[in-house]
Structure 1
Amino acid sequence: MPIDPARLETIRHASDIGRWELIRCRPDARLAPYVSDYQGYREWGSATVRRVEFALPIVPVIINFGPAWSLGDGHKPGRMMRHGSFVAGMYSTYAISENTGASHCLQFNLTPIGAREIFGIPMHELSERIVDFSDVMGRAGAELETQIAEAVDWQTRFDILERFLIGRVADAQSVSGAVRHAWTRLSDTGGMIPVAALADELQWSRKHLASKFRQDIGLAPKTIARLLRFRRVVDRQTTDLSSRWAEVALDAGYFDQAHLIRDFRQFAGMTPVEFRRSRLADGSGVIDNVPRG
């Protein structure tokens, strides 16, 4: 059945920076362990827009209807590659996206468990990489792109996507219960459970836990824990602009503000103060204003 309009949220923005429209959709409850959200995005303008994409514990997928994107990452910030529709594996550093200001795309964000089951490949093959969507999904992905591109509105596009994802999950080989438990524990605690305690719960060595995470999640448990803590900070700063950084750091499980600054530099390519200055209005990203090599 069609997507219920009550599941949609529309945000529109117009300023000197540009004009854009963002439509968010809450996924079907059956997809909760696998998909965090869907987003439709349209941006009108002629100026080049360069954004920083923070490292987060998700696997974003872009189905592109507009001009190709120039994409790079913090490992080699001066190297930009062109992509249409793509999958971004989880990163241990930030990424850079650049477009002409005339963007039009659908994005859906997968959990690591969701990406493992929907793509059906070991997640270390995607880690620290941006890969064309067709290379990951093959013919099924090409057919999905065509159907979504030909749809007349966002409700129809989200409905097509959702039916596709539900079918993929139903046919997928499930991630082991132990890895699923470990991911859930890390996620539910915001990355605050020690990796050693997690290994003890599973009666695994830390080496075996790291190996299984590389296969089914994509990054080491310690890195995932840091990303989850970092995400708590970013999410809080999105909703509470008056909060003090020292307080935010402690609440998210950081020992002190210095550790928070270290993670900001690695995962965002900027300091917390630069983050506050660089955010665009209405949740449309973070402008890259920091000089890079």
Structure 2
Amino acid sequence: MDGEVTVSRAGGLRRAGRPLHPALRPYLCGRTGYSHLAPPYQVRLVPTGHVIMTLSLAEPFSQVRRLGTPGPGTGRIGSAVVGMEDRPAWCVHPGGPQEVIRVEFTPLGAYRLLALPMRELTNQVVDLDDVLGPEAGVLVERLAAARGWAARFDLLDAVLLARLGRGPEPAPEVEHAWRLLAGADGAVPIARLADEVGWSRGYLVRRFTEQVGLTPKTSARVLRFRRAAQLLAGGPVDLARLAAGCGFYDQAHLTREFRALAGLTPGRMATAARPVEEALAL
């Protein structure tokens, strides 16, 4: 156990958290439990630069549908893994009791702990069984039966720590390239990344995409978008200054990228975005 569990409430939403186990901190961005008696809702999901695993201990989602793509979506889905994304989606929930653990991986943390090429998950919502195999159902049952969030976090940490010893090591060159990109919120030219790691640009793109899930160029777009969206969420900002500060060519470029990645203009996203925690699982 690493630290005490804290529980906060916002309306009917209860949020449980605990500091990450030290050995998992390089691989996870967060791990949070939620419980809620939710009315039916739908929420827009946008790229986060993370890989998300959701462990649903109550009602599954009705569907997750990519905006701008044909087809009905995933159909009914419970526990799942959401890969790296470069486009928005709608998530629809039928309402009812929800109890969820949401785990956010760095992309290379997901590569290590989920032990599969990240390109296989890109823009996908995949049933947990298809990622973890038969242990997925056992894990969810044990988490649902555990008494309290501390016991649940202990169990989940133990499972992830065991997988840590079996997973593939990311290439040091890919780790370095991702660290540079993420540290600069995407504002690093791809040619510089290739020079930094000593690979050809084509080889860097192939290895990076396998282990991160997006190409370096697309990852840079998502990271710039994420930074701009975070600043927008903090309150009113001048869009021209926002564009310049986040590495966009100009305000028009900022708007085009928001339309492509979120399906909204920056102005609409600032007023219409629903907090991601309200989606709970996804």
Query: Structure 1-normalised TM-score?
Result: 0.88
The answer to whether 1:79 aligns with 2:72 is yes
Q: Which moved more, 1:75-84 or 1:189-198?
A: 75-84
Q: Is 2:44–2:88's contact at 8 Å kept on the other side of the alignment? A: yes
Q: Is the 8 A contact 1:33 1:113 kept in 2?
A: no
Distance 1:77 1:141, change over 3 A: same
Asked if the contact 1:13/1:281 (under 8 Å) is kept, the reply is: no
Deviation, structure 1 residue 25: 3.5
Equivalent pair of 1:77/1:96 in contact (CA under 8 Å): no
In the alignment, structure 1 residue 50 sits paired with structure 2 residue 45: no
Distance in 1 (alpha carbons) for counterparts of 2:252 and 2:149: 43
* 1:36-47 paired onto structure 2 within 5 Å: 36-45=29-38, 47=39
Cα deviation, 1:234-254, whole Å, max 9, x if unaligned, reads: 22233x213322222222111
Matches of 1:55 and 1:96, distance apart in 2: 12
Equivalent AA in structure 1 for residue 87 of structure 2 = T
Kindly report which structure 2 residues correspond to 1:1-293, keeping only aligned pairs within 5 A, or say none: 2-5=1-4, 8-14=5-11, 19-45=12-38, 47-69=39-61, 70-76=63-69, 79-80=72-73, 81-102=75-96, 103-238=98-233, 240-280=234-274, 284=278
Q: Residue by residue, what CA displacement relative to the aligned partner does 1:125-168 show, whole Å, maximum 9, x if unpaired?
A: 11121110011001232222122111121222122112221221
In terms of mean alpha carbon deviation, does 77-86 or 63-72 score higher? 77-86
Matched letter for residue 111 of structure 1: T
User: Aligned residues: percent identity?
Assistant: 30
Q: How far apart in 2 are the matches of 1:39 and 1:244?
A: 33
What amino acid sits opposite 1:54 in the alignment? V
> How much does 1:214 deviate?
1.8
Q: Distance in 2 between matches of 1:187 and 1:23?
A: 27
Name the TM-score, length of structure 2 as normaliser: 0.91
Alpha carbons of 1:227 and 1:248: their partners in 2 closer, same or farther (altered >3 Å)?
A: same
Give unpaired runs (5+ residues) of structure 2: none
What secondary structure, in the 3-state scheme, does the structure 2 residue paired with 1:23 have? strand
Structure 1 position 186, deviation (Å): 0.9
User: Do the aligned residues in 2 keep the contact of 1:59 with 1:90 (CA within 8 Å)?
Assistant: yes
Residue 168 of structure 1: SS of its match in structure 2?
Answer: helix
Cα pair 1:72 1:96 within 8 Å, conserved: yes
Instruction: For residue 278 of structure 1, report the CA deviation from its aligned partner.
Output: 1.8
Compared CA separation, residues 156 and 247, structure 1 to 2 (3 A) = farther
Counterpart amino acid of residue 3 in structure 2:
D
Structure 2 CA distance for aligned equivalents of residues 130 and 206 of structure 1: 29
Instruction: Kindly state the Cα deviation for residue 10 of structure 1 after the two structures are TM-superposed.
Output: 3.7
Contact 1:279 1:285 in 2 (8 A): no
Q: 1:222 to 1:78 in 2, by over 3 A?
A: same
